[in-house]
Structure 1
């Protein structure tokens, strides 16, 4: 009996061992990562990021080789620290800090010790790497810019942060990720897929070859190339025109919603954020609180739209049936309301119909128009709700949904805002009359103004602005960018407004910068500019604004230009818009004197005043 019991125990234990070994060999060993074996080292093979081209096929962003010094902390053996630090151009304190950071991340997994060595640094270090156990060099690619412009469009790449690692399991310490611009928005397209090799080590920690003959290894997949909608020649020209100025320019193709130019000023050379000097250069750009070159004014800066907004009030009034194109309204060199209060006007006074009201930018005419819209309804709140609905349908008060990672919604005021400000039933159309001329509580971004200009050019519809044209030569198919969005205004009402905007060039505020051979419809704007200085609301130099599209028949470009503290619309924004239109449609500028004046114009003295750096942020 005892012999049988002993034999049973021996057989039972043997079966347990055999079962466990079989599981480890046949099941566990095939399912889990080879890294569960401490004798296996994982080495990544990083792909090149996809190339970036402009709408005409010009290469904008390529790649260049770079070399990272990697560390596996537990494999580091005693070394000549001073020599190693000298080769890497770091201090001994840097060495200790980087080693500790890598050890905290993982003692047995590789992480970046020193990133982005140049070819020269790599050549000097490579032949001595055998002396430094636990360190090795890994090749990867960095961006190589073929242009000095468009930094706000491209964004940049940097090492993943702790936040990135916590929120995205596909990244590991030391890897690169796109930040801002198309690099961030289309990261999954541009990044590609990294390959991996598993290297087996012996008991002396020496590499002895691929694990299981490389059966677990994978090849990298290069990122996909993308083609942008940007015309880099127009983008470059716009940035040159905005040198020594602050503001934003957005140009769209009204027929597609494609972004032709997205200019923010001041800007910077994108190559500054590449290589080992990236961190230093970024810090300098970030702490430049005067020029704020990292702040994309074309998407983030919110300004009162000024007179270009009058075109929308005209369209809303036509749709509401409170005027028709022939309705004549009188301007008394302004508009008197609330007894003796006056909204001034520079049109010269007189009786105006819609076309002349738009062409002369008559404040008196549009004060009447706005009041008629609001006062049509039983209460001001109902009138404001109807007005707000029309404004929202042009994409105002919203982010538009374009394919870039940053933006501001702007602001279209509604009845709730005025109820909170004044109380229910205690405000009227005269309370917020500044809405009639694009002032007051209304705020827009440059891309929003470019979009409403495209809506007018298209007589009632638009495509969501977007910056991606193709991926690997395949046109975009996202319905958000290919389906029409409609304003609440019937197409039949756009004709008189467009005629008024064309008159702005023929006989109105933009007649001095007509373009030979191109019929343009546009609208100048001068937006009042306030900030608080020492606790007091102070009026600063007005912003210069202009919107336009051309040709009037079959429009190919819609543009909005903001120049901060630019005095009035026809001083800077109007001329800049007209020569950019000519540049895009003709390929050259014939009005050389005007071009020279705009290229050389500077507002640096204006920005050097005590409120320098504040105007573009006052309405955020």
Structure 2
């Protein structure tokens, strides 16, 4: 019995040894999961963020470029600081921020890096770099932010900022990660996919303390980032800067378009701001200050502000009446001021005279003829039918809905329908006398400054327009721009009807906008004075030039500046001269606009 014990023990030991050897074989040879776990613990995946594409103006001038910045990273397990007050003084952070950020980093991982301070400028980096050796566990990663060589076109170019949780949730392709920067407005937002580039990835070996030990497998699995595509904007930077100078101290909009292409030459929202303030570490602070500013510099007036068009809408009324056959060039009405107020001019007037003299009573009577055509025995029903048909014709001019600009948050204005008046007054309880203010571009009608400029392009082109857009080329290729910006939109009015209208607009500026006259450049234009119940009326002017071969169509809207022939017409005329000649010779008019004493 005793002689069998050693044998039993030997057998057990051998069996246990075989089991352990088998298990070890499976772990080390057959199963590589433990190897992969070990590699994951020893390998850090570092995202290589690409440079965003640059933005140029139509002449090749740089508008947006990338500026290097630095994120201060922390590895909590290695981080040591003896004098907290001195640390906070050197790195210009509060003690509360240091504690909060360190705690969050340690909670995430004690050996993996987290961001301690974001977006350190090159100036601040130069100041702190000599102190980094005194604080184990700190190192710097380089990134880039946008920079603007000219303090111009802020609302047009837009800005970038850290991605929000909602945006991450909408990222179906999972391109972005928390902490990434994306375009949030303007061209930066709309062309985010083109500008952002493609991320790269680098894998590096680290020891248990997170110290970099070089690339993993000699960089075999690394991928290089690809810079974003460069974008050429349709903006003419010199014209844009000149317009911004003219609009300084005012509220309103200027939009200039190249009629033959729909390319936006200038888009000014006043007041605006220096786009450089929404870059770098002070983004949040400066954004809050701008957002609280009573002048609303972040509000992009050319595409978001909606106003009554005023008398410029009389041109649309004329063309709708001509196309429908209700009006012709010889249609004459008396300037009956018992119907609606008007200024002094000869009476009666034909259609040419009505446009030239901006006769309110003429359009009161003409609009009534367009609306009340006695197609029904019921007067109320007749007005409803006529209004809806009129609205369909008007909306073909790009009014009443967004035009489709390559920018987010574009408003569409409002061209009222019978449903609106049914809702306000009740079905069958309104008629022409309720809506006659629409005849002169007032009442419930609203348009945006962009739509006004597009109207000027329609008049210049004799009946068509291209969707206004800010893109001219992507990576130098004009064929890359979206097809919708190369599609012609007809407004449904025969081209020959525009001949008389253009002639009348050319004559109109000698009567209502004499300041707009430029020697040797024939301008066709129309003034407007939009009523404002809260204060002084708004000054409105649209124009195109040269009349025989239009190269620029423009709309100017200056809030609380009174009659359109003063502020708006003067600004438009100066910008036309600047664009067509490259310089301005009427320095007295420029000073008149700059000082801004229009009343």
TM-score, with length taken from structure 1: 0.88
Partner residue in 2 for 1:173: 178
The residue correspondences of 1:17-416 to structure 2 (distance < 5 A) are 25=32, 37-73=40-76, 76=79, 80-102=83-105, 110-168=113-171, 169-289=174-294, 291-333=295-337, 335=339, 343-348=340-345, 350-376=347-373, 377-378=375-376, 379-416=382-419
The residue correspondences of 1:447-596 to structure 2 (distance < 5 A) are 447-475=450-478, 476-505=480-509, 507-531=510-534, 540-596=535-591
The alignment covers a number of residue pairs equal to 582
Q: 1:485 to 1:107 in 2, by over 3 A?
A: farther
**How big is the shift at 1:15?**
7.6
8 A contact 1:330–1:349 mirrored in 2: no
| Distance across 2 between alignment mates of 1:416 and 1:105 | 58
| Distance across 1 between alignment mates of 2:47 and 2:283 | 23
1:529 counterpart SS class: coil
8 A contact 2:27–2:34 mirrored in 1: no
Q: 1:23 to 1:132 in 2, by over 3 A?
A: farther
Shifted more, 349-358 versus 159-168: the winner is 159-168
Partner residue in 1 for 2:379: none
| Distance across 2 between alignment mates of 1:357 and 1:15 | 102
| Distance across 2 between alignment mates of 1:418 and 1:304 | 17
2:195 counterpart SS class: helix
TM-score, with length taken from structure 2: 0.90
2:433 counterpart SS class: coil
2:361 counterpart SS class: helix
| Distance across 2 between alignment mates of 1:593 and 1:577 | 15
Q: 1:326 to 1:11 in 2, by over 3 A?
A: farther
**How big is the shift at 1:109?**
5.5
8 A contact 1:334–1:349 mirrored in 2: no
| Distance across 2 between alignment mates of 1:23 and 1:480 | 58
8 A contact 1:347–1:361 mirrored in 2: no
**How big is the shift at 1:24?**
5.4
**How big is the shift at 1:446?**
0.4
8 A contact 2:152–2:240 mirrored in 1: yes
| Distance across 2 between alignment mates of 1:213 and 1:472 | 33
Partner residue in 2 for 1:611: none
| Distance across 2 between alignment mates of 1:367 and 1:28 | 86
**How big is the shift at 1:37?**
1.1
**How big is the shift at 1:334?**
5.1
8 A contact 1:35–1:41 mirrored in 2: no
Unaligned 5+ runs, structure 2: 1-7, 377-381
The structure with the greater share of residues assigned to helix is 2
| Distance across 2 between alignment mates of 1:258 and 1:204 | 56
| Distance across 2 between alignment mates of 1:429 and 1:16 | 94
Shifted more, 481-490 versus 45-54: the winner is 45-54
Rg larger in structure: 2
**How big is the shift at 1:81?**
3.4
2:537 counterpart SS class: strand
| Distance across 2 between alignment mates of 1:69 and 1:79 | 19
CA RMSD, aligned part only? 2.8
**How big is the shift at 1:12?**
9.7
